[in-house]
Structure 1
Amino acid sequence: MAEGNDRPRVVIVGAGFGGLACAQALGAAPVRVTVVDRHNYHLFQPLLYQVATAALSPADIAEPIRRILHRHRNIDVRMAEVTGVDTAGRAVRLADGARLPYDRLVIATGSVYSYFGHEAEWERHAPGLKTIENAREIRARLLQAFEAAEVCDDAAERDRLLTTVVIGGGPTGVEMAGSVAELARYTLSRDFRRIDPTKARILLVEAAPRILGTFPDDLGAYAERALRDKGVQVMTGAMVERIEADGVVVGGRKIPAATMVWGAGVKASPAARWLGVEPAKGGRIAVEADLSVPGLPGVYALGDTAQALGADGAPLPGLAQVAKQQGEHLGAGLARELAGGAPVGPFRFRNRGNTAIVGRNAAVFDFGRRRLKGRLAWLLWAIVHVWLLVNFEKRLMVTVQWLWRWLTYQRGARLITREPPDAERP
C-alpha cells in the first residue's frame, strides 16, 4: 500500500472496454488511478469493419481517452508503450524508461490476430481488423481495387481486382463479407462506367464445417443463406494454405484476389510474458474467480487478456460485454478493498446475448434459451451497438448515418487516404 498521506495507486494498462469500465468504477474512490494505453483514444472495435467498408469514419467510433475520463479528477491518463512489469518492485516499465509504481495493477490489454505461425508471411497481405490503421488500409485496398479495375483491359486481372477474400467465418468475417457485398452491390453499382461492381466476387473462407461456430446451428445456417443471397460465396471446410500478394491458396487451388482480410483467430497480448507467468491457451493469463493473477499479489487481468472461467467451468469468450462487466466488477471491488479492506468478490458473468450482423435487415441474436434472426435481430443489433458507444454525440452521429445509409444505400466515407503502391502509380 502507499505510504504516508498518499492514496493507494492503481495502474490500469489498456483503455479498451474492460480497462475503461474499471477506471470509471474507481472514479469516485479515494485512490489515484493511472490509465496507460499506446493510443490516446478508445476504439469501439465491434464497428471497425464499417470503417473498413466505408460506412463510417474512424472518428465515429473512437473517442479520446482523456475526454471520456476528464470528469474523474483522481484519474490520470498516460499515452505510452508498456514493455514489462517489475512484480517484485511493484512498478510498470514503459518504453521511455519511466516506471509507474502501483499498489494494484490491472492488465486489460486485449488481443491481437493470430496467423497460426505465419505472421511474417501473411499479415502484410491480409490485415486483420483490430486497429484504425488496419481498417483504413483495408478500405484503401478495397476502393483502389475497384478504381484499378475500371481502367484495366485484361479480363483475368480485372476479375482478380474485383475479388475479395475474407478468411474466418466468425462474427467479424461474416460482418465484413456481408458489408463488402453490399458496398459493391448497392453503393458502387452506379458510380463506375466500364465495370459492373455488382459482379464483384466476395468469398468467405472458413476451415470449420460451418460459419458462426459459437452460435446455434440454425442461426449459423440462416447467416450462410443470407450471405449467399447477397452474392457472397461461402466456402466451409476450406483451409487456407498460403496467402500471397496476388491471392490465396485454398485446398491446393489458387484464388486470385486483390483484397484479403484476416479474421480467423486471435491471441492475447504479451502480458503473460510481462508478468513472467505461464500463458494459458491463446496466450491468455489464467486468473482466479476474483480476476487476480495467482502468485502475484495485487495484480489482476481481465477481458481478452485473461482466461476467466464461467459458471460451467469453460473459459469466458472474448466479448466486449465480458470485458465491460469484468471491469465494472473489479473497479467496484478494488474501491471497496482499498477503502475498507473488504476482498474483491468472485466475478459472475451475466450473458446478455451474442450477436452478429449479416447485412441490411439481416442479423442473428443468441440469448441462450431464446434466439432471434432477421429484421428484428438486425434492429436489436443496431440499438445495442449504438447504446454501447461512449457518449451521446457518437450515438447520434452513428444513428443518423445508419438511417441515411438505409434510406439511400450510400456510404460517405469512401476516401482513399494512402498512396498506391509504386507498381500502381501512373
Structure 2
Amino acid sequence: MTSVPHVADTGAHRIVVVGAGFGGLEAVYRLRGVDAVTTLVDQRNHHLFQPLLYQVATASLATSEIAWPIRYLLRGRKDVTTLLGTVTGVDVAAKCVRLDDGQMLPYDTLVLATGAGHAYFGHDEWEPFAPGLKTLEDATTIRRRILTAFERAERADDPAEQAALLTFVIIGAGPTGVELAGTIAEMARTTLPDDFRNIDTRKARVMLVEAGQRVLANFSEELSAYAHRSLEKLGVEVALGHAVSDCNVDGVVYGDTHLPARTIIWAAGVRASPAAEWLGVAADRAGRLQVNADLTVPDHPDIFAIGDTVSIAAPDGSLVPGIAPAAKQEGRYVANAIKQRLRGETPAPFRYRHDGSLAQIGKHLAVIDFGRFRLRGALAWWIWGIAHIYFLIGLRNRLAVALNWLWIHTLDQRGARLITQGRAVLDDPAVRTGETVPQRLKSAR
C-alpha cells in the first residue's frame, strides 16, 4: 500500500477530515489559519444541503440548487487538499486512513464526520422497494418513481393497477416523512390535475405510516397534533401505531393491512456509518460510537468524531439530535479544540445548544419549536423559509430557491418535473421491482 502523494511529506501537523457534510465542512472552514495542513476526503464531489433534499425528490428544486462542488467551496484555501475517495478503514496503529484504491492517508489528527445511511431494522431486502432519502441519487430516484407512477397510471387499463400506481406510502413520520407526505399531496392536488387526461391526480392516495403514537415525535404534543390535523386537511392519511412488517413489489404491509402501492419511500430510521467498525470500538444499536466530552473517541485522543457518526448527551441529558445545526456546532468545536491543542491548551468539554426544530407541512404550513417559544401556521412557514434560504451557500442559490418557491406558491407549478432516465423507464420491468435501468443493464453483463 502506498501513501497518497504530496500529502504525507509536508512535515507540518496533518489533519484529515473524513466527510464534507455540515460537520466536516464546518470544521475545515474553522481550521483556517491553523499551523497545519488539512486533507478533506469525501466519496462525493459535492456538499449537500440535506434539509431541502425532499424538495428535489418532489420536483420543487433542481439538484444544483442544494449542492455545491467541494473544490469550489474550498478554492481559496491553499492549506486544504480535497480528495474524492471512499474510506474503507482506519489503521489506528499506523495512524493512517485506508482508501478504496488501497492508498493510505497518514494523519496526526483525524476527524470522522461520516454521517449516516438508511436503517431498515434488519430488513435490508426492503431497500429496492422503499428507497430512503440521504443523497442526491436518492432524491432523483424518488422523483423519478413519483413522476413515473403518474405517467404509468395515465396509461393503465386495470383500475386496480391504476389505484396502486396512484398510492404513495411514506414510512416514518419524522420531519422528512411529514415534509414528503405533505408535498406529494399538494403536488397531486394542485400542480398536476391539468396535466393529465385519463386520470384525476387529485384522487391520488398519500399514506403516512408511523410505528409511534404521533407525528413529529420530537416536537411538542401541541405542534405534533397541529401537524397531524394539517396533513389530514391536505388529504394525507395518517396511520399511527403501526409498524411495517413487509415491503415488496406489490406494496406494503403494516398492522393487519396490506396496501397495494407502487411508490414507497422510507423515512423511518438511520444507521451511522461504519466508523465504529473501522476503529474497533463499541457502538449503540444505530451504529453510533460513544465519544468523550471533548468529542474524541475513547482511547484514541487523536481521533475526533462528530455528527450522525456519534452519540453524545446534551446538557439536559437527552441525546444531541442528528440535525445540521448540531453537526455544525460539533465541527466548530473540534476546529477550536485542535487549535487549542496545537497551542498546548486543554479544550473545555463540548456543550450543545439547541437552537430549535423546524418542519414544513405544506404551503404556508410549518411548525417551529424553540422550547418555550413555539409557532405554527403561515408565520412559521415564512420563518422556516427564510432560515433555509439564509443557510444556503451563495447568493445565486438563495435567489434561485426563493424564486422557485415564489413560483410554486403563487402558480402551483414545479419546474423540476423531469424523469431523467429516458423513455424506456416507463415500460421497463425494473420500475416494478425497484431496480434502476443501469443496475439491470450492469447485472446482465
Name the residue aligned to 2:36: 31
- Per-residue displacement from partner, 1:31-60 (whole Å, max 9, x unpaired)? 100000000000111111111110011111
SS in 1 for 2:408: helix
The 1-side partners of 2:408 and 2:319 are apart by 38
Name the residue aligned to 1:165: 169
Contact conserved, 1:19 with 1:108, CA < 8 A, in 2? Answer: yes
Contact conserved, 1:241 with 1:252, CA < 8 A, in 2? Answer: no
Equivalence map 1:223-234=2 (5 Å): 223-234=227-238
> Of residues 340, 355, 358 in structure 1, which corresponds to 2:358?
355
Indicate whether 1:177 and 2:181 are aligned: yes
The 1-side partners of 2:10 and 2:418 are apart by 54
Indicate whether 1:423 and 2:426 are aligned: no
RMSD: 1.5
Contact conserved, 2:252 with 2:258, CA < 8 A, in 1? Answer: yes
- Per-residue displacement from partner, 1:277-319 (whole Å, max 9, x unpaired)? 0112411111111101110120000001011211122221101
- Could you list the runs of 5+ residues in structure 2 that have no partner in the other structure? 1-6, 432-445
> Of residues 125, 136, 146 in structure 1, which corresponds to 2:129?
125
Question: More displaced, 30-39 or 4-13?
Answer: 4-13
Per-residue deviation, 1:424: 7.9
SS in 1 for 2:407: helix
Structure 1 ranges of 4+ moved more than 3 A: 2-5
The 2-side partners of 1:415 and 1:4 are apart by 47
Name the residue aligned to 1:307: 311
Per-residue deviation, 1:395: 1.2
Name the residue aligned to 1:250: 254
Name the residue aligned to 1:49: 54
SS in 2 for 1:298: strand
Name the residue aligned to 2:120: 115
Name the residue aligned to 1:393: 396
Would the alpha carbon gap of residues 210 and 3 (structure 1) be closer, same or farther in structure 2, given more than 3 Å must change? closer
Equivalence map 1:75-154=2 (5 Å): 75-119=80-124, 121-154=125-158
The 1-side partners of 2:237 and 2:307 are apart by 33
Residues matched between the structures, number: 422
* TM-score w.r.t. length of structure 1: 0.97
Contact conserved, 1:27 with 1:73, CA < 8 A, in 2? Answer: no
* TM-score w.r.t. length of structure 2: 0.93
Name the residue aligned to 2:346: 343
Contact conserved, 2:247 with 2:253, CA < 8 A, in 1? Answer: yes
The 1-side partners of 2:90 and 2:346 are apart by 23
> Of residues 361, 365, 368 in structure 1, which corresponds to 2:371?
368
Name the residue aligned to 1:203: 207
- Per-residue displacement from partner, 1:178-225 (whole Å, max 9, x unpaired)? 010011111101100111101100000001111111111010000011
Would the alpha carbon gap of residues 4 and 84 (structure 1) be closer, same or farther in structure 2, given more than 3 Å must change? closer
Per-residue deviation, 1:3: 11
Contact conserved, 1:239 with 1:250, CA < 8 A, in 2? Answer: yes
Name the residue aligned to 1:18: 23
Would the alpha carbon gap of residues 199 and 34 (structure 1) be closer, same or farther in structure 2, given more than 3 Å must change? same
The 2-side partners of 1:174 and 1:129 are apart by 13
> Of residues 386, 405, 414 in structure 1, which corresponds to 2:417?
414
The 1-side partners of 2:312 and 2:27 are apart by 16
Name the residue aligned to 1:321: 325
The 1-side partners of 2:249 and 2:325 are apart by 36
The 1-side partners of 2:346 and 2:62 are apart by 43
